[in-house]
Amino acid sequence: MSDDIKSIHEFDLNLICEYFAQVERQGPGSPEITRKALGFVEGLTDESRIADIGCGSGGQTMTLAQAVPGTITGVDLFQTFIDLFNRNAAGLGLQDRVRGVVGSMDALSFADEELDLIWSEGAIYNMGFERGLNEWRKFLKPGGTIAVSEASWFTEERPAEINDFWMSEYPGIDTIPNKVAQLQKAGYVPVATFIVPETCWIDHFYAPQVEAMERFLEKHKGNPAAEGFIANQRHEMKLYHKYKEYYGYVFYIGKKR
Ligand code: SAM
């Protein structure tokens, strides 16, 4: 990473929130891929309890809610996202089954063995894949399912530029076989693993940001923090296009043993 490129962790969280509130999704994914992952989940009923952790404004949660029965609780650290989430749920008439609450993924208030399904797209990295898998397991009923998407290496080796970028952003990134081993070790039977396709990054995540970046820069003209943040987002996007054969998001689906 060059000296003028900062880690996302160094930016003002309010600015990050305001920026990502402009787009439907805060991470790579798509309705098709959410439904594909759901295809590996069995036995949900009207009584099922589902959590979507790090739900953001709920792009994937609304897809989930339209595809499965049961009640869904979305949890996110930021009120801005939860307000949008609850507005989106109400707009789709889902408010009786889908509710967003503010909370931190490392201090969840679910009861032991309360949940049938834990969902989390592009968010478990905030506490780390292994730690999240280990700490969330107790909330699942025996035989319950966890489905998370997580940044992963596709190859054993990769160019230094992209390796260094990820090591500074998220040192927990690892190869798919290593992640599956971590899932198994945390007490789940690995049910399925698949790569989230490029279109989820390019069309569903980055494309909507092009206009959002312009709007954001216009609003925060002359604000170095906002300009620096957008420069970083553009750098990340450029790196994805350059190195997408080496990394991406992978869905990991496991059943609690
Ligand atoms: N799942 C959404 C999606 O795929 O569009 C959002 C993914 S976004 C990359 C990561 C999300 O995790 C953000 O909405 C962020 O606010 C949330 N987050 C970060 N730290 C968190 C924490 N400690 N507890 C709960 N949510 C957190």
Domain count, the chain: 1
Q: Residues near ligand 1 with C-beta < 6 Å?
A: 25-27, 29, 54-56, 59-60, 75-78, 81, 104-106, 121-123, 126
Residue with CA at minimum distance from ligand 1 atom 11: 54
203 within some domain? no
- Please check whether residue 130 lies inside any domain of the structure: yes
CA distance 63 to 207: 20
For residue 38, being part of any structural domain is answered with yes
pLDDT at residue 17, rounded to an integer: 94
Distance 212 CA to ligand 1 centre (A): 19
126 CA closest ligand 1 atom index:
20
Instruction: Please write the tens of the pLDDT for every residue from 181-224.
Output: 999 999 999 999 999 999 999 999 999 999 999 999 999 999 99
Question: For the residues of 217-247, what is the DSSP string, one character each?
Answer: HHHTTT-HHHHHHHHHHHHHHHHHHHHTTTE
In a domain, 59, yes or no: yes
**C-alpha 76 to ligand 1 mean position (Å):** 6
Structural domain including 115 reads: 25-197+245-256
Nearest-atom index, ligand 1, CA of 106? 23
Residue 156 confidence (pLDDT): 98
CATH of the domain at 64: 3.40.50.150
Q: Would 192 be classed as within a structural domain?
A: yes
How many C-beta atoms lie closer than 10 Å to residue 92's C-beta? 13
> Within a domain: residue 14?
no
User: What's the rounded Cα separation, in Å, for the pair 62 and 68?
Assistant: 10
Could you tell me which of 135, 146, 121 has the C-alpha nearest to residue 57? 121
pLDDT of residue 2: 44
Ranges of the chain with pLDDT below 50: 1-3
User: Residue 97 Cα, ligand 1 centroid: separation in angstroms?
Assistant: 21
pLDDT value, residue 7: 58
- The answer as to whether 89 is a domain residue is yes
* Mutation test residue for ligand 1: of 32, 55, 201, the one with most atoms within 8 Å of CB: 55
One-letter amino acid for residue 251 of the chain: F
ipTM of the complex: 0.99
- Three-state SS at 123: coil
Residue 24 alpha carbon to ligand 1 centre in Å: 13
